[in-house]
Amino acid sequence: MTSLLDPAILFFVFGVLAGALRSDLEIPPAIGKFLSLYLLMALGLKGGFALAESGLSPAMLSGLGAALFMAFLVPALGYAFLRRHVSRFDAAAVAAAYGSVSAVSFVAATQYLENQGMSPGAHMTVAMVLMETPAILMAVLLANAARQAARPVLVVGAGQAALSGMPVAGGASLGGILRESFTGGAQLLLLGSLVVGCLSGEAGKAVMQPFAGDLFKGLLAFFLLDMGLLVARNVGAARRASPVLLAYAVLGPLVHALIALGLARLLGLSTADTALLMVLSASASYIVVPAVLRHAVPEASPSLYLGLSLGLTFPFNILLGIPLYTWMAGAL
């Protein structure tokens, strides 16, 4: 209950209510983009400063390995389930969105853990970056397999063509899609900030504290207000989905979080790292991956994968999931 009274979470709820009431309250897109970039930069700097202090460790390698494993497992499980209820293209796109991660959920979870007196490893920021691309890669390959099944005459050599960088959909190529996922502005800013924080170390931390530390909570609350308004606009698309997909948008992340919990327990990760791994595994991308999927899988419905991830899964994780995952990690 305490987490729901956090000012940032309350602003998110306020944004959802304002949007539901059809208020003309609106955050200008330019300011919303600035807030998003600020949070990514601050998160990257925090991770870099912590990495400079801690250095390499077995715990870091275990955490990164677990994140990569979940990045491949979640979309594979999602596609195996969803293909029985929607088209293969929609199944691949939704599975990719849920196999990837939500940076905002990660930021909110990091803030929640810090409020609880827990300090996750800085390598978990790297883990978040690593978990973006595998889901995109799997979506492209699954969509190509669906196209080959629909056009058997083109099966011979199609896989080799896709892997060699030839067009896979609507003029897009696998190499171009993967390059976009690695060099997109959000990803690049996060990685660059991580490197800057790691190189500048303690001296850089002291200099950047007013920017990356003191302002963080206030700007996070402002950004979550904007996210609440955005969620209210996407709830309608989620409501139009079938009951099976609605259930998947809530129960799927819970299953993914439980698998991550078992894996973290097996590897002996800390409570804070376990909670963040659960959040990453349970979250769904609604910014980076949907943007790539529009080019990689144009046959899929954007309103479906975007509506489910942003209209249902994101608010569930922000309001209930993060404290639930943290409690479950601590209980074990």
* pTM, entire model: 0.79
Query: How far is the CA of 22 from the CAs of 69, 217, 300, in angstroms?
Result: 42, 27, 29
Backbone torsions φ then ψ of 31, nearest 5 degrees: -70, -40
Amino acid at 98: Y
Whether 176 maps to a domain, the answer reads yes
Whether 4 maps to a domain, the answer reads no
Share of the chain above pLDDT 90, in %: 27
Whether 190 maps to a domain, the answer reads yes
Residues 245 and 281: their CA atoms lie apart, in Å, by: 18
Whether 16 maps to a domain, the answer reads no
pLDDT (tens digit per residue) in 51-99? 787 666 787 888 889 999 999 999 999 999 999 999 888 998 899 889 8
Contact 1, 154 (CB under 8 A): no
- Residue whose structure tokens are 């790691």: 198
Q: Which two tokens stand for residue 189?
A: 């800013």
Query: How far is the CA of 126 from the CAs of 132, 142, 169, 300, in angstroms?
Result: 11, 26, 30, 30
Contact 52, 202 (CB under 8 A): yes
Residues 47 and 190: their CA atoms lie apart, in Å, by: 10
Segment 100-126 shows an average pLDDT of 87
Residues 124 and 264: their CA atoms lie apart, in Å, by: 13
Contact 306, 93 (CB under 8 A): no
Question: In whole numbers, what is the pLDDT of the chain averaged over residues?
Answer: 82
Which residues, other chains included, contact 237 with Cβ-Cβ below 8 Å and sequence gap of 6+? 303, 304, 306, 307, 311
pLDDT given at position 262: 96
Whether 6 maps to a domain, the answer reads no
Q: Which two tokens stand for residue 309?
A: 């991830």
Whether 149 maps to a domain, the answer reads yes
Contact 311, 238 (CB under 8 A): yes
Whether 19 maps to a domain, the answer reads no
Whether 11 maps to a domain, the answer reads no
Query: What is the number of domains present in the chain?
Result: 1
Contact 231, 32 (CB under 8 A): no
pLDDT (tens digit per residue) in 114-165? 888 898 887 888 888 778 778 878 877 887 777 777 765 444 444 433 333 4
Q: What is the CATH number of the domain that holds 180?
A: 1.20.1530.20
Domain that holds residue 289: 28-331
